[in-house]
Structure 1
Amino acid sequence: MSIRPTLEARKAIPTLEGAGVKLHRAFGFQDPSELDPFLLFDDFRNDRPQDFERGFPWHPHRGIETITYVLDGTVEHADSLGNTGTLQAGSVQWMTAGSGILHQEMPHGNANGQMHGFQLWGNLPSALKMTAPRYQDIDGTQIPEVIDDDGTRVKVIVGAFWGKTGPVDGIAADPQYLDIFVPAGVRKTFRIDTYRRAFAYVFDGAGAFADASAPSGVLLEKEVGGEELNIRDLSGNRTLIRFGTGDEVTVQAGPDGVRFLLISGAPIAEPVAWHGPIVMNTQAELEQAMRDLQNGTFIQPTH
């Protein structure tokens, strides 16, 4: 067993998207090989409706999958194929845009006007870029949760973990998407297959992730003359952690515990031609997508 080194820890950056939605972007529109097969990750968390209620009006997608996980509030969605629905708190939508879709997403706050959720973009390999669009809307009650003896809680959204399998299936990058809470002071190790590219996104509390250069995880030390333990190198709210190769990730939870998403997938390792919400393999394919948008042939007929 080998602990994955921490390659980088960086804060998500405030960003304006859609029709004026304030969010924080952990990564996106940079080097697509950095976290291949994942392209973009946004944290949309707001306490003021005016910061998100204008939402994400009609826009296209082709060549990717979008994964929306709602923690609080709701998201109404509709698309050019006639699909409509509402994502409730705790639910997940995995949308395979494939050959092309136009859709909109309109967030709404809870009773206190608060909204919180995440959106992840996953790339599609060339063989599936023009596949038929597909939705998987998963209610929160369908997502299995495993609780360990030390109080660690893991919601298994995608993939298999600790004897449970998430309800989302048939995804090209063979991903694993976990929502993890580790209680205060607990040190925990999670297994990730070596072939996967992996990252964590800390969104509540704080924790120190062990580095392969110090597998014992020198994360705690006693104060001089005291019994209290200090947590070193904390990664706190809205922080992205990129991991190197290995088959384990170890975290030491801080004094309030730590909650984070642990996401991994098999790299696609193909060329990327990217323009906004459209991701293809070549510039020619990207230009064709632009022409399809202009001449009304972006949406393929369904059979």
Structure 2
Amino acid sequence: MHENIEAPDVTPTERQLALVATGRGHGDILRLMSPSDLGEHLKPFVFLDLFAGDMRLMQEAMPIHPHSGIATVTVFTDGDVCFDDPQAGSGRLDYGGVEWMRAGGGVWHGKELSAGESATIQGFQLWIALPPELENGPVESQYIEAREVPAAGPARVILGKYEGATSPVRAPDGIVYLLVRLGAGERWTFTPPAGHTVGWLAVAKGELRLGQVVQPGQIAVFEEGREPIALEAGLDGSSLVIGTAEPHDHPLHLGYYSVHTSAAALEAGERRIAEIGERLSETGDRRTTTGTIPVYR
């Protein structure tokens, strides 16, 4: 489980830390948040992995698997990968590039990205719990190349709107998710939008100072509030993601790969997943010439 480290007091005018937690690792993936632990307190953010390694090996190891009730957001902090989908086009994702998949009522995926030119990659995969009107709705995939992701100061706006920049990802309202790169010793203050009382960040590279040092592979959770979040990078700079949102005022009903707002919605999502899985098993080889297997819906 997570190793919790008590946070000291910080300046009262800034958002205070509730805890800093170190994720648990298995292979190339470090699990920072799950729906059954921190996700319960940070919903609509319910799951977060920091992954790193050889994309060729990771693609081989990742099985095709289902989801429902959530959206997955994959953003890259180092290296590059390729996407190739008849419905979404083809291209390359590197630093700041985003894969958005709204699983909605049911989808199978896991091999829609292939290795690019880099020897290794690093990035975050985040799950968002969808609201009732979307959790059993249509599936949607978007692949947003880095040049199409707007910047606001040192931040790339992955989801939502911040300082006049709007992400092209068609995410639900009430969520902001940023990828931030700070230079050595650089300071930056993030002011959450009105109503965003849920807040957290996770570090990919370099130390970050928040009244205490947050290391790569750790997640920092903030007390509920509306105060700004002041960041200072260490001597080697820092790369991180930060998320804030309006609270997700619904319970979490959990399947193995699914998160829904009610038992009935979960049952519908898992039933749909099973139906899609039966069709998938009959389709045969769907691999593209570049080695990807497109999302199946």
Check whether TM > 0.5: yes
Distance 1:269 1:123 in 2: 11
- 1:254 corresponds in structure 2 to 234
Higher strand share: 1
Distance 1:172 1:115 in 2: 28
Instruction: Give the drift of 1:285.
Output: 3.4
Distance 1:102 1:284 in 2: 21
Aligned amino acid, residue 155 of structure 1 = R
Distance 1:185 1:146 in 2: 19
Instruction: Give the drift of 1:112.
Output: 4.8
- 1:239 corresponds in structure 2 to 218
- 2:119 corresponds in structure 1 to 113
Distance 2:175 2:218 in 1: 21
Distance 2:149 2:94 in 1: 12
Instruction: Give the drift of 1:4.
Output: 1.0
SS of residue in 2 equivalent to 1:256 = coil
Could you report, residue by residue, the CA deviation over 1:174-231 in whole angstroms, capped at 9, with x for unpaired residues? 2111111222223322101352211111111112114xxxxxxxxxxxxxxxxxxxxx
- The correspondence of residues 142-153 of structure 1 with structure 2, limited to 5 A, is 142-147=148-153, 153=154
CA RMSD of aligned residues (A): 2.7
Distance 1:285 1:159 in 2: 26
Distance 1:11 1:273 in 2: 25
- 2:190 corresponds in structure 1 to 190
Q: Structure 1 residues 95, 293: closer, same or farther in 2, change over 3 A? A: closer
Distance 1:27 1:182 in 2: 23
- 1:164 corresponds in structure 2 to 165
**Bigger CA radius of gyration:** 1
Aligned amino acid, residue 241 of structure 1 = A
Structure 1 residue ranges without an equivalent (≥5): 17-21, 148-152, 211-232
> Could you state the TM-score of these two structures normalised by the residue count of structure 2?
0.78
- 2:253 corresponds in structure 1 to 273
For the 8 Å contact 1:54–1:106, the answer to whether it is kept is no
Distance 2:50 2:113 in 1: 13
SS of residue in 1 equivalent to 2:267 = helix
- The correspondence of residues 44-63 of structure 1 with structure 2, limited to 5 A, is 44-47=51-54, 49-50=56-57, 52-63=58-69
Identical-pair percentage: 24
SS of residue in 1 equivalent to 2:259 = strand
Instruction: Give the drift of 1:120.
Output: 0.6
SS of residue in 2 equivalent to 1:127 = helix
For the 8 Å contact 2:106–2:273, the answer to whether it is kept is no
Aligned amino acid, residue 277 of structure 1 = Y
Q: Structure 1 residues 54, 183: closer, same or farther in 2, change over 3 A? A: same
Q: Structure 1 residues 277, 185: closer, same or farther in 2, change over 3 A? A: same
- The correspondence of residues 170-209 of structure 1 with structure 2, limited to 5 A, is 171-193=171-193, 195-196=195-196, 197-209=198-210
Q: Structure 1 residues 160, 127: closer, same or farther in 2, change over 3 A? A: closer
For the 8 Å contact 1:10–1:241, the answer to whether it is kept is yes
Instruction: Give the drift of 1:141.
Output: 0.7
Instruction: Give the drift of 1:119.
Output: 0.9
- 1:70 corresponds in structure 2 to 76
SS of residue in 1 equivalent to 2:231 = strand
Higher helix share: 2
- 2:105 corresponds in structure 1 to 99
1:89 and 2:100 matched: no
Distance 2:277 2:54 in 1: 40
Distance 1:293 1:144 in 2: 34
Q: Structure 1 residues 288, 167: closer, same or farther in 2, change over 3 A? A: closer
- The correspondence of residues 23-34 of structure 1 with structure 2, limited to 5 A, is 23-31=29-37, 32-34=39-41
Structure 2 residue ranges without an equivalent (≥5): 1-11, 280-297
Aligned amino acid, residue 13 of structure 1 = R
